[in-house]
Each structure stands twice: as structure tokens, then as C-alpha cells.
Structure 1
Amino acid sequence: MAATDTQLMLSVGLIEKDVNADTLWVWCFPSVSAELREVLLRKCCLTQDSNELHTFVFGQFCRTWYYITTVEVQEPTVLNKVTHFSVIITAKDFNPEKYAAFSRVLCRMYMKHGSPVKMMEGYIAVLTKGICQSDENGSFFIKDYDVRKAYLAGSIKDVVSQFGMETIILYTALMLKKRIVVYHPRVEALLEFTRALPALTWHRKDWSILHPYVHLNDRELDNLRLCTGYVAGFVDPEVSNRSDLFDVYVNLPDSEITISQSAKETMAMGKLHKEIGHFIVQSAEDTDRTDAQVIKDISVKTREILTNLVSLAEECENSKLTLESLKQRHFPPATENFLFHLAAAEQLLKI
């Protein structure tokens, strides 16, 4: 286990809902800012009007990842005035499976002892040794959770199964670092779908673009606007009217993808897109291929495009492409347009 693995965790916190239906932030270690605490209370299902229990949600705010596990208190327990509680871990890294497993152990500790002290001991044990072991509450080993597994846990095959050739719109938007907004009323469906999308641009291995659970809240939207491109998930249908937030809008329940008016020019599709789209669909529909193999296929295809782009740039001054140098190649208009904006996204464009 690398020492850095244990240094990725930032804090552990506890929210309780009592028998009077009051929800309070009751404890954290070492600390969480007031701004982040407000966001986490909003993400925690215990503060929402509906009685729907979201056992595990995750997301990020201001470059801090949060992982929230919520449980209903079962009898018999020392927590006689508490009906539900949420354990919240904040961290620097994206790894939902790792933090879901660890927070389940912490939940069992709190259910048994009714005191945050045991949770803090478990947290410090993982922080210092990478291990939290207990006979009755289960064990957690940080070394069992490779970040590559987290990146591969989303299913590109499911994305292609739902959207077919339209997957090329998502691929193009990601390649060009556009803003993708995904709507679904169920947060679990949002988390599952959105986490898969960054794998379409595997060469970047950049899950920092993922904001899977965002509310239409000014502070959260201001944070989102600081990003050049993103994949953002919303449970509020009102987001469909917020064209200022997206270049591509995905209505997940209706399997519809819409390109915003402002992005239509840069997202114009041509023969190259059709070829890539067919390639992605063909790979994903092959029942013998795993998700990891499909991601590798797409990655190889992407590398071909980028290698050609770099070779074009190398022929130019300072290895930077210009629109003039692209025009000399007499590419079809949509291909030229795509390569120009891709060069900008990959910082190969002369400004």
C-alpha cells in the first residue's frame, strides 16, 4: 500500500435524524468547512421531504469528493433516540467502491457502540495503516481498491445499449471538453450512468470532470461554472430549461440527447463521426467483449485520431495547429471543424 493512498482521505462526519424528525450534523473529524457542510446536508437524503432512502450517494464540490452512506437504525440498539444516520467521508480521490466499503464498516461500529469515538479510531487506523479490522463489524483494507477498477466500474456497454449511434454525440462532447448535463429523477440511475462517461476519453483518465449529483443551487452552480467541461447529473427536471448550463442535454428516462443551439456549430457531425459511431456501437454490441475491452477499443481509435492530429501540428510552427494549416488539408468541413476544436481541447492550437 502506498502511503499516498491513506493521505487521500480528508474527513469523516455524522448526520443524524432523531425521533422528532429533526436532522442535525452531530460530529466530524477533523473538520469540514461551513460551506461544504451545507452542501453535504443537502445531499444527505435525511434532510429531504421524501421518505426515500438513498443508501449510498457520491459527488464532488470544490474539488472535494464526498461519499454518503445512510442507514435506518434497527432494534435493538443503543441509539434509542435516532431513527436514521449518515456517515460522510470526504476525500481527494474518486473511488466510490472503496469509500462505500469503508463507510459500511463505520456504520456498523456506530450502530453497535452509539459513539463516534469508535468511528474515529477506525478512521485513524485507515489513515495511518490502511487497515480497519474488527471481528464483529467487518474489515477494510485500502489496498483492495485500485483506482483503475473505479474508473472501469461504469458500463459503456449500457450507455451504447441505451443510445446506440447517438453515443457519438457524447464522445464528441467529451473529446471537445463540452458541458454535458444528465437528468434522471432517481439519483442512483444518475450515478451509474454519469460515472461511465469519462471512460469514453480514457486517454485523459480524468474523472475530475464528473459532478454526478448537483442541485440547482447558486453555490453549486457557481462551482460548476468554474469547470471548462463537465458531466453533471441533476434530479430536478427544471434543469432542461437551463441552457446556460449545458452544450449537450441527456434526458435519461426518455433516452433523448439534445445539442444546445449555441454548441451546434462546434458539434457538427460528419463522415468521421459516423465512422467512429459505428465503430463504438460495433464494439459495444459484441457480446464476447467486456466493458474494459470496449473502452480499450475506443481508446485505440482515439489514439489514432490524436496521433494524426499531433503529426499535423508537428508540421506547423512551434508544433501548434492553425486554422489555415488545417484548411490546406482540404478535409470535409465537419472533420476540419472537429479537428480544429479538438486541437484547442488538447492544447495543440496556436492562439
Structure 2
Amino acid sequence: MSKSRLDTLPSAGLWGPASARRWHRPSSMVPSNLTILGFCDAGNKKKTHFSQTHFPPVTAGEQAGGPQRRKPQGAGGRERSVNGGGAGPAGRSGAVRVERGRAGGRWRSEDGRAGGAAAAGRGADREHLSTIEKDTNGDALWVWCYPSVTAELRTLLLRKCCLTDENKLLHTFVFGQYKRSWFYITTVEVQDSPALKKVTHFSIVLMAKDFNPEKYAAFTRILCRIYLKHGSPVKMMESYIAVLTKGICQSEENGSFLSKDFDARKAYLAGSIKDIVSQFGMETIILYTALMLKKRIVVYHPRIEAIQEFTRTLPALVWHRQDWSILHSYVHLNEEELEALKACTGYIAGFTDSEVSSRSDLYDVYVNLADSEITVSPVVKEAMTMGKLHKEIGQLIVQSAEDPDKSDSQVIKDISLKTKEILATLASLTEVSDGNEKPTLNAEALKQKRFPPATENFLFHLAAAEQMLKI
């Protein structure tokens, strides 16, 4: 099969200059009493080793918001974590400040929460901003975040960040989803920054509820420029809060970001259906069928950039749903991540670990993007049986994608129109009964149509995927 441009072209657009799109978050989500005070300036101080052992699991007392003191752990001197439980407005979440003194000294993490249970209700893990540094000793340091996050999420984001020891390559921008929250990580190399003399690289981590890589790539690039200049989260937080409350941050030196310039639909259309069809040809119908039936798709490629460009495009094959929550573009073979993934009904999951091919419990369809191979699991072969209808759809997809005069959005429209025809046929075979508002498939009507066996089988399983079967 022909080789996709995903393997030959740089990831332009996402990693290049930002094109205008939309970002919006209601100002009501920001605490009215928020003040940006008391952040620790990382400056030029030498950092002590900051390993995962510094963050043991959160205790029940801490979750309740009460004061907690931990005994020193790990090597390299004393350390203390304090969750302030003093009086204050319920639900207020403070930034985590990490003080890093001389080697062998201590660090202190202060969480200015009051009323921890109420704070947790704000979904602190769903929207936050963090900074991770790699120093001249090669240590990855979680230096700052707002608001506080759980130990589980810290571990996850350090694993996704390319600054940890097991990751050797620098990934400029990565994104993914974990438990209905999206993470976006921009990483830069530090060169000639007086404010970050002991830092070689750093990552800005931003978590949000919506899928829009271009939006967050543009915003985190601006935050990176600010951090490079000041080496402190204070100025960075000013821009972050400005965007959350006013929808804009402006700076002649660092660039401007305007929320209304970003649109979610443009993010949905940013990938290239033509590239996918160019690589897989008629086998694209397998991907289409799997998505229509809400099956589990696993994609492997050693390059995370290739995975993300490919997987983010797949939901467009079922445009009538416009559901990108099925996308998990960056997953590790980690127990917690896999358990969260398995909790999803159907998904598209990207892996850079080739061992995923042996994990048949994770997929119904396996895509080896590097070798342009698609494998259907024996478990779903009956539901995925191909027939005349599938051939017609496959030919339509290929012909539309190969038309040089058609854009990717036009190809998506052609596929969507065919999908609507299929759904209209299915709707004509349904009935409303037993007082149910939603119509269900009439099995007898389906049989009376005398469709080819593969078509009848597909429509039946499609009805199941659309929750149109009587239970």
C-alpha cells in the first residue's frame, strides 16, 4: 500500500504558527476571590531531587481538607507537605508552591485549600496549569501547579511528559485524554535564559474539558515564552487568568491569544481523511465499519506525532456523531490507564509500545500504522462481516478521497451523506412501542426486506450500537 504523508511530512499547523480558532470558558468557573500572590520563584536556585516518592497517595484526611504533615521520604534531606486547613471560603483552591533550596535541604508544598471536599467538587483535576522542569542533573521536577492535583494525575502527566528518564526524544507538543479530561503538554529546550540557568528543558501542562489541540498548542506556546523570560509562574498565571476571565491575553513581546478565534469544529476538521485513504485504500471501510459499530480500535506507531495526527482524524468518518470523546490518542501500557480505557464502550486508542499488539483484550481492530496493516479480532469478525454495501461505501470513500478537486471537508461530507442514507434505511425499520420515546428496530421488518446477509447483519449490529434494540 502507498505510504501516508503522516510518515513523510512534518506535523505542520499544530507545531507551526497558530492559526486562529476558538477557546472559551465561563468566567464563573474562576474563584471570585482568587489572588495571585505568594508563588515561589524557581529562579536560579539549585533543585533537590523531586521523584515520585515525594508524593505518596493522598490520605482520607487530606481529601477532607484537614491539616496533614508527612514524615520525610526518599533521599536528599527532609521534606514536608502541608495542606492548610485554616478558615476561608469553601471550595477555594490554591496553587501548589514548591520551595527548592540547596541540595540536601527541604522542599515544602503548600495547598491553600479550605474546605477540601468543596474544592474537589470543582473538578480541580479537570482544568489546571502545571510546570515541569528538567535540570542540569537530568532530574524531572514537578515545580508548580494550579490548582492542586492528585498523586495519580501527577504520575500520569509525568509519564506523558517527555522529560522523564525513560523518554529520550523531545516531543514539542502532545495531547491525550484520561477519564474525560484532556491534557495538552508543550515542551521547549532552554537556551540562554538568565531566569532558568539550571534548567535544560521545561514543559507547560494544561488540562481542559474540551478537545482542541490547535487552541491549546497556541496558548501554551505563549505561556512558554513567558516562563522562558521570567522563570516564575506569576506572570504566566496572569495570562492564564486573563484568558479564563476575559477570553484574551495580549503581549507585544510574547504574542496574543484571542479565545473567539478558535472553533471546535475546525479542530474536528484539522486532520486529513485523504491521508488515511491514501495509506489504506479500500481497507478504510474496516475503520469506518468499526467506528459505526462503536468497536475498540487500537493504533500503534513508534512516533507519537504520527499516532496523534492519524487517530484524531478517525472520528470524522462518523461525522454524524461529532464525538471526539472516543479519542485516546496517547495511552501507555499502564494498569491505571488501561482500566480507565476498558471502562469505555468504544474507543480509538494510540500506543507507541509495540507490545500492545499482543494485548488482544484491548482491541477489536488493531492498526499497525507503521506497516499499514489492519487486523480484525476473531471476536468481532461476525459483526464486521463485509458485503455488497461495504464495498459500495468503500468505493465511494476511495473515489471521493482521490478526487484532487475535493478538500478533506468535502470528502467527509460525501461520507456523511452516505451514512445518513444508511441511518434513514435503519430508521424506516424501527417502531415505537411500549410507551418508549425512542424507536427500536423491528426485527421482522428487517427480515422482510430480504437484504443480503452481510447487509442485514450490519444493520442489526448498527441498531445495537445506536441503542435501537429492545432489551
Taking structure 1 as the reference length, what is the TM-score of the superposition?
A: 0.97
C-alpha deviations, 1:287-310, integer Å up to 9, x for none?
Answer: 100001101111111011001111
1:204 corresponds, among 321, 342, 354, to 321
Q: How does 1:178-327 map to 2 (within 5 A)?
A: 178-314=295-431, 319-327=439-447
- Whether 2:214 is the aligned partner of 1:97: answer yes
- Whether 2:131 is the aligned partner of 1:14: answer yes
Please give the alpha-carbon distance, in whole angstroms, between the structure 2 residues aligned to 1:225 and 1:50.
Answer: 25
Contact 2:23 2:263 in 1 (8 A): no
Contact 1:316 1:325 in 2 (8 A): no
Provide runs of 4+ in structure 1 moved above 6 Å: none
Q: Report which of the two has the higher share of helix.
A: 1
Contact 1:5 1:142 in 2 (8 A): no
1:223 deviates by 0.4
1:48 deviates by 3.9
Letter in 2 for 1:196: T
Q: Which has the larger radius of gyration?
A: 2
1:329 deviates by 1.9
Q: How does 1:77-96 map to 2 (within 5 A)?
A: 77-96=194-213
Contact 2:186 2:220 in 1 (8 A): yes
Q: How does 1:28-67 map to 2 (within 5 A)?
A: 28-67=145-184
1:74 corresponds, among 171, 176, 191, to 191
Distance 1:64 1:274, change over 3 A: same
Letter in 2 for 1:168: I
Contact 2:300 2:353 in 1 (8 A): yes
| 1:110 matched residue in structure 2 | 227
1:346 deviates by 1.0
Letter in 1 for 2:441: L
> Comparing 40-49 with 169-178, which one deviates more in the overlay?
40-49
C-alpha deviations, 1:179-203, integer Å up to 9, x for none?
Answer: 0000000000000000000000000
Please give the alpha-carbon distance, in whole angstroms, between the structure 2 residues aligned to 1:50 and 1:56.
Answer: 14
| 2:469 matched residue in structure 1 | 349
Q: Equivalent residue of 2:428, what SS?
A: helix
Please give the alpha-carbon distance, in whole angstroms, between the structure 1 residues aligned to 2:176 and 2:411.
Answer: 25
Q: Equivalent residue of 1:26, what SS?
A: strand
Letter in 2 for 1:181: V
| 1:329 matched residue in structure 2 | 449
Please give the alpha-carbon distance, in whole angstroms, between the structure 1 residues aligned to 2:194 and 2:386.
Answer: 60
| 1:165 matched residue in structure 2 | 282
Please give the alpha-carbon distance, in whole angstroms, between the structure 1 residues aligned to 2:318 and 2:445.
Answer: 26
Please give the alpha-carbon distance, in whole angstroms, between the structure 1 residues aligned to 2:469 and 2:25.
Answer: 35
Structure 1 unaligned regions, length at least 5: none
C-alpha deviations, 1:234-280, integer Å up to 9, x for none?
Answer: 00000000010000000001000000011111100000000000001
2:458 corresponds, among 310, 334, 338, to 338
Contact 2:187 2:203 in 1 (8 A): yes
Distance 1:315 1:269, change over 3 A: farther
Please give the alpha-carbon distance, in whole angstroms, between the structure 2 residues aligned to 1:137 and 1:189.
Answer: 29
Please give the alpha-carbon distance, in whole angstroms, between the structure 2 residues aligned to 1:182 and 1:172.
Answer: 16
Please give the alpha-carbon distance, in whole angstroms, between the structure 2 residues aligned to 1:172 and 1:80.
Answer: 53
Contact 1:36 1:61 in 2 (8 A): no
Please give the alpha-carbon distance, in whole angstroms, between the structure 2 residues aligned to 1:76 and 1:202.
Answer: 46
Taking structure 2 as the reference length, what is the TM-score of the superposition?
A: 0.72
Please give the alpha-carbon distance, in whole angstroms, between the structure 1 residues aligned to 2:352 and 2:359.
Answer: 13
Please give the alpha-carbon distance, in whole angstroms, between the structure 1 residues aligned to 2:234 and 2:182.
Answer: 23
1:78 deviates by 1.3
Q: Equivalent residue of 2:254, what SS?
A: coil
Letter in 2 for 1:238: E
Letter in 2 for 1:250: V
Q: Equivalent residue of 2:430, what SS?
A: helix
Q: Equivalent residue of 1:341, what SS?
A: helix
1:4 deviates by 4.0
| 2:33 matched residue in structure 1 | none
Structure 2 unaligned regions, length at least 5: 1-21, 31-125
Contact 1:55 1:71 in 2 (8 A): yes
Contact 1:94 1:147 in 2 (8 A): yes
C-alpha deviations, 1:40-70, integer Å up to 9, x for none?
Answer: 1000000143431000000010100000000
Q: Percent identity?
A: 72
Q: Equivalent residue of 2:383, what SS?
A: coil
